[in-house]
Structure 1
C-alpha cells in the first residue's frame, strides 16, 4: 500500500504520534495518577489554611492548638505532593525519551528502505536535521506537555470541584469567563504552528548548506566561492531569524494575555466574595480559599497555553519526521535482511532485455538497451560523460528499477529477487570512495564481518594496499577519519574490501581513477586474476584499462552504438576508434 507523503498538519502529526506513546501506556497511566495525587494534595492545602484563618476570631481569641495541628497537616500534604511530583517527573522523562528513541529508530530504519531517488532529491543536511534537530525539538515539547498538560487539566477539574464545595455562585462566575482563555489559546496556536513549521524547514536548509560548505571547503576556497557561500548563508539565516522571531512573538503573547484574564477573574472573585461576607454567606477564611482556588484555577490555563505553543513547535517538527517515515519504502523490511538462499550462482548470466529508463519521465536516457553477458564474460562500458554507463550499473544493482523491459540474472527477473540477495552477488568498486568512522579492519571487513586477520592481510596484499596499511601507526587497528588517508589510499581500501569479499560477479566503475599509474597496473593484474571465471562489468573513461574485455559496449545518449572486442572496434574505425586514439593523441 502506498504511504502518505504529503505535508502533514499538526493534528495528523499528533494522531500518528499517539500510537507510539501508547506503547508506554503503563507509564502514561502512572503519570496521570501521580499528577492527580499531587494536585488533590495541593488543592486541599488552601482548605486547611482557610480553617486556620477562621480560628483567628479576634484579639485574645486565637485557637493556637488547632492552628498548630493545621500547620502539621499542611507540611505533610506539601511533602507528599512534592514527592508525587518528583516521581511523576522521572516517569515523564522516561516516557518522553523512550518515545523519541522509537521515532528516531523508525526514521533510521525507513531511511535504509527509501529508494535512491528520494535521497537524490533531498539534501542530506535536511534529512539529518529531521532525524536529529527536529526530534530534539519534539522531545522538548513532549516533556513539557507530559509535565504540565496532565497536571493542568486535573488542576482545572479538581479546582472546580473544591470551589463548588465553597460557593456555587462564585464558581459559576469563574466558569463564565473561562472560554476567553480558550479563545486566546486557539488564536496563538493557529498562528504559531505555521511559523514553527517554517522555522523547522529553514533550519533544515541551513544545516544542509553548512554541511555542503564544510565538506567542500577546499573547493570553496580553491574557486573563491567564500563570498557567495556567505551570501547564501546570510539569506537563509535572515529567513530563519524572521520565522523564529515571528514564532517567538506569537508564543510570547501567551503569558500577558492569560495573565490579564487571570487578574480580571481574581478581581471579580474578590469583589463577589466580599459582598458574600457582608451578606453573611461566607467567612474570611472561605474567601481566602476561593481566592486561592481562583488563582489555582487560572494558572493551568497559563501553563496549558505555553504547552500548546510548545506542542505546536513539537508538532511542526514531528510532521517533518513523520513525512520521512511515511515515504513509500523501496522494499519490505524483510527484504533488507535478504535471503541468501536465493543468491545466484557464481559467474551468472546477465541479460538486459529491451530496457528503457529515465530519471525524469520527459527526459529519456536508456532506450531499448539489449545485452547478454555470458557467465565469466568481461563486459566494458565506455562512452562520453552522461551517456548512461553508471545508470546501467544502477539498474543492474536495482538502485533504480527499469521503466520498461527486464534485467535477468540466471533467467530470473531481478525485480523478483530480494535486493540484498541480488547485491550479495556483486562486488562493487566505485569512483567515489566511502569509508566509515572506524578502524581499517572494520572498514575492510564491512561486507564480511567474520573475516580473519589472515584473510584481510591476504586481500590487502592482492590489492596492493598492505604496503601502506602496515606503515600506519596501529596497522589494521588504526582509526580512520575523513582526512586521515589520501584519495588513492581510500580507493585501495575499497578495492581490498571487494577482494576480501570474493564475490561471484564484479562491477568496477572507474575503480582506479585515483591511483597512480604504476599501482594501477598492479591493481589491474589483481583484477584480471579476480575476474577469471566471473561475470564482470567495467565502466572506464581510460580505454587502456578495457582492452582485454570480452565485450566492449560503446554508449552514446543512452544507446549502444557499437559493440565488440577492442581490436574489432578499432578495425571498424568508428566512434570507439576515434575515442581511443583521441586519448593517446593528447598524451603525445
Structure 2
C-alpha cells in the first residue's frame, strides 16, 4: 500500500500542473486591438541595447521594428562603436521613425537599458533584443491593446518562435529543433499561468512593453542597475528583475499569444545553444530563489505562478523522477498481468507528456517528428544543466557581451572591492604565470626549459642500478658536478633574462598605457616600485617550470613502482600526501600573508614619506611623531611575522607527525607481507628505497607551494595591473591620424564626471577659431584644468564630442592628438636630467640653439647662464623655485612648435617684470597659432582675442575684455573681485 501511495503522490506532483496548464493554455485568449484605440504606435519608444551597434542581424531587426512606425527608436551601444552605429542608421532607407544612437562607456545591458529609459518621452517603452528579432507588421497594435483594457496593466509580453532559416548540417537542424521546442515550452507555460492567476514566470527580454512611468521611477532605476548576487553586480537577469518589480508594485502582466503578436527570433544552432540554456538556468535559479524565499509578496499575489516556480526550481531532474515512477509502479503491483498493463500505460503517458505541449509546432512542421527522441533525451540532459547551473550561480557575467576589443568585460568597482582572495584563484594565477613565463614562439628558449628540467633530474638521482652506477662513476671521474653546474648556468641565464625583461617591460607598458584616472588615483612611487620588483618574480617561473614539473613526474613514476611492489605502502603514501595538503590549507593563511605584506609596504611607506618630506618634518618639529609612526609600523610588521612563524612551526610539526605515521604504517604493512611469505625480504628494502625517493619530492613540493602562496600574495598588485584596461583607448588599430592644419577646436555638448556622481561639465560647448588666443577663466574647481585633460585624451567624456579641425578626437589615434598639442601645465614635472635634455624632451630633434631661443622667449635664459653648469645643470625639483619651474615648462612647450599651444597659469609665481616680458614674447611668438591660456592675469585677458568664462561646468559668457566688462556679468565680477 505504501508503494501505491508513494506512486500516486509522485505522479500527481509531476503531472497535475501539466494537466491544469493544458486546460488553461487552450482557454487563454489574447486581447484584440480596438479600432477606437487611444494608444497608437506614436506613443511607443523602442529601446535596443546592443554591444556591436551594427551588423546584418541588427539591420533586419530595425527594419521590422520600423515597419510598425514607433515614435522613436533608441539604439544604445558602447562608445567605441558609435560611429559604426551611426553609419548603419544612415544606410537604412525611408526611416519611418526617429532613430537615435546613444552610448555608454562599457558593455553592460542594464546600464544600456537605463540609459535608453532616460531618453524616453512616450507613454510606452518597448525593449527589443538586437539579435535578429523580427516583428510582425501589427505587433505594436497587439502589444498596446492590454494597456488600454485596464490601467493596472504595467507590462505586456509576447510569444516567440524560432526562425527557420536554411540549415547546412544535421547538427544545425538538431539544435534549431531543440531551440524551437524550448521557446514553445516557454510560450505554453507563460500563457497558462497568466490565464490562471495573472502571473508569469518571466517576461521574455526578446520583446516586451512597459509603461514608461514605471521604468522612469528612480527607485526602479536604482534597484535595476545595482542588483547583486553574492556581492557581484548582475549584468544578466534583467527580464527577471522587471517581472518581479511589476509584481512587487502591484502591476498586472499580460502575455499576448496570437499569430499577429508573434516575434520571430534566433537561437544558437550549434553547441553554444547549451551555453544559452545554462545562462537561462542560472537566471531562473537566482530569480526563483528570490521569489520563493525573499520576495514573499509573490506568493500572495500569484499563488499558482509561485507554485509553478517552486516545481520548476526544486523538482528533481526528469531522469530521476521518471526512474522513480517506474520503480514505484513496478513495486506497487503484484498481479503480473496488471503489472505489465500499468507499466505500459505509464510509459505511454510519459511519452505523451513529453510532446503534448508541442502539438502546434508539429502540426506546422510535421517533418520534425523524427527528432522527437532527441527532444526527450535533451529533457534529461537539461536536468543536468540545471544542476550545474545551481552550482555556478556565482557566475554573473553576460558571456555574449564581452568587450569587442577582446579584453573581456571590465569589472565593476564593486566587484573589484569584493575580490579579496586573488591568491586563491589559482586558475587566474597559473594562467598569468603561463602567459608571462612560457617563451611562446621562441624554440631556443623552450629547449632551454626542457634541458634544465632534465638536468635537475640528473642532479637528484637517488637509487641506481648497476649499469647506472657505472655510468655515474664515469661521469664523476669527468667531474660531472662542475660540468652540470656550468651547463645549468648556460641554460638558465637566457631564460632569466627573458623573464625579467618580459616582466619589467610588460608591467611598464601596462602602467604607462593606463589612463589618467589610474595615475591620478594611485601613488606613482608604488607603481615605480612595482615595475622594479617585477624582475624578482623569475624565482616563481624557475620553480614552477623547471623544478615542480619534472619533480612531480618523477614522483609519479616512483609511486607507480611502489604500488607495484607494495599496494598498501603506496596507499599509506597517498594518505600522507592528502594529509600534507590538508595541513597546508589549514586556516586563512593567505590573509595572514597578505596582512604581513601590507605591513611591510606600510613600513616602507612611512620611511619614504618621512625622508622625502624631511623639510616639512623639520618645519613643524615632527621628528618624534615620525619616529612613533615608524615604531608602530615596525611593531605591526613584526607581530604578523611572529604569527606567521608560529603557524609555520605548527604546520611543520603536523606534517612531520603525519609523515612519520604514514612511514610506520607502510613499514608494518610491508613487514607483514614479508613475514607471511607474500613478499620477499628484499621487498622491504625496496619499499624503503622508493619511500625515501618519494619523500623528497613531497617535502620539496610542499615547501614550493608554501613559497608560491607567499609570492602569489606579493604578485596580487602585479596581476591586477595586468588585468586593468585603460578607460581611454584608440577606437581601432588602423584609426586615422589627427593632422592639425588650422587648429579649430569645437566642444559640442560635452558631459564629464570623474566619479560618475559629481558632474564637472554639463552640455559644455564652445568653439575656438584657428589662430585665436583664448583665455579661459573661472572660479577654482570650475573645470579649467579638466578641459586640458579632455583635449589630451587623458580622460574621455561620458557624452558629447570634442573636435579639432572637424575631426572627433575620440576616433583618431591618441598619440597623434598629443603630437599636435604643446602644454605648459600648472604643476610641471621634470626628469632628473640636464636643463637641455628636459627642454628638448618635447622635441628631441631640437638643436641647442633652439633650446636657448625657447628659454629666451620664456625669460629664463639669463637665469640659466648664472648657474655653474649653465644648460648642463642637472635639475632637481627641490632646487628650483616655482617661477623657474614654470618658465622652464613654458620653454619646453614653445620648443615643440605644435599647432595648438596650451598654457595653464603661465604667469603665476612670477614677478611683474618677468610676467610682462613673457606676455610680450608670447604674443609675438604665438601670432597665428591657436593658443589656449588658462589664467586670471588681467593683462593676458585684455590681450586675448576671446575670453571664455566657465561656471558650474558650463560656458556662461564669451567675448573680448571690453564686451564682457560692458555686460557686467560673471566676468565683470571676477575681474572686479566681487565674485
Query: What's the TM-score once normalised by structure 2's chain length?
Result: 0.52
Superposed counterparts of 1:171-570, under 5 Å: 172-189=568-585, 191-204=588-601, 207=604, 210-223=607-620, 239-268=636-665, 282=680, 290-330=687-727, 342-345=738-741, 347-570=742-965
Q: Map 1:14-53 to 2 at 5 A.
A: 14-23=430-439, 24-39=445-460, 41-44=461-464
1:115 aligns with 2:515: yes
**Contact kept in structure 2, 1:437 and 1:479, CA below 8 Å:** yes
Tell me the CA shift for residue 311 of structure 1.
1.0
Alignment of 1:69-84 (within 5 A): 75-76=473-474, 80=480, 83-84=483-484
- Corresponding residue number in structure 2 for 1:60: none
Conservation of the 8 A alpha-carbon contact between 1:129 and 1:203: no
Q: Say whether the 8 Å CA contact 1:192–1:251 is kept in structure 2.
A: no
Going from structure 1 to structure 2, the CA distance change for 1:415 and 1:146 (only over 3 Å counts) comes to: closer
For 1:403 and 1:333, the matched residues in 2 are separated by 16
1:211-250 per-residue CA deviation (whole Å, 9 max, x = no partner) reads: 5544444345435666666666666555544544444444
Match of 2:754, SS state, is coil
The corresponding residue for 2:347 is none
Q: Is the 8 A contact 2:453 2:546 kept in 1?
A: no
Larger mean CA deviation between 529-538 and 255-264 belongs to: 255-264
Q: Is the 8 A contact 2:753 2:761 kept in 1?
A: yes
Give the root-mean-square deviation of aligned CA atoms: 3.5
| Separation in structure 1 between the aligned mates of residue 535 and residue 607 of structure 2, nearest angstrom | 19
**356-365 or 221-230: bigger deviation:** 221-230
Residue ranges of structure 2 left out of the alignment (5+ in a row):
1-402, 440-444
Q: CA contact under 8 A between 1:97 and 1:139: conserved in structure 2?
A: no
Q: Which residue does the alignment assign to 2:538?
A: 139
Pairing 1:106–2:526 present: no
Partners of 2:551 and 2:778 in 1: how far apart?
Answer: 69
Mapped to 1, the partners of 2:493 and 2:960 lie a distance apart of 68
| Change in CA separation of 1:575 and 1:224 when aligned onto 2, cut-off 3 Å | farther
Aligned 8 A contact 1:381 1:537 in 2 = yes
Measured at CA, do residues 86 and 199 of structure 1 come closer, stay the same or move farther in structure 2, by a change above 3 Å?
farther
Say whether the 8 Å CA contact 1:428–1:506 is kept in structure 2. Answer: yes
Contact map agreement 1:358 1:366 (CA 8 A) in 2: yes
Is the 1:426–1:504 contact (alpha carbons within 8 Å) kept by the matching residues of 2?
yes
Check if 1:580 corresponds to 2:975. Answer: yes
- The whole-number CA distance in structure 2 between the counterparts of 1:243 and 1:101 is 33
Deviation at 1:274, TM superposition (A): 6.4
Q: C-alpha distance in 2, partners of 1:453/1:126?
A: 36
More relative contact order, 1 or 2 (CA 8 Å, 6+ apart):
1
- Structure 1, residues 242-296: CA drift from partner, whole Å, max 9, x if none? 5444444444555433333343444455556767777786567x76564344223
User: Secondary structure, in 3 states, of the residue corresponding to 2:528?
Assistant: helix
Q: Is the 8 A contact 1:375 1:534 kept in 2?
A: yes
Cα shift readout 1:119-142 (whole Å, capped 9, x = no counterpart):
222233443343334x35533333
Query: How far apart are the structure 2 equivalents of 1:476 and 1:410?
Result: 37
Kindly provide the CA deviation profile for residues 87-108 of structure 1, in whole angstroms up to 9, marking residues without a partner as x.
3465446434522431222221
Given that residues 506 and 537 in structure 1 are in contact (C-alpha distance below 8 angstroms), is that contact kept between their aligned partners in structure 2? yes
Distance 1:501 1:337, change over 3 A: farther
Aligned residue pair count: 554
Contact preservation (8 Å) 2:569, 2:687: no
CA deviation after TM superposition for structure 1 residue 579, in Å: 2.7
Distance 1:276 1:335, change over 3 A: same
1:389 offset after TM fit, Å? 1.2
CA distance in 2, matches of 1:455, 1:26: 53
- Residue aligned with 2:712, SS: helix
Alpha-carbon distance in 2 for matches of 1:302, 1:296 = 11
Task: Determine helix, strand or coil for the equivalent of 1:480.
Answer: coil
> Which is further off, 219-228 or 437-446?
219-228
Q: Tell me, which stretches of 5 or more residues in structure 1 are unaligned? A: 49-68
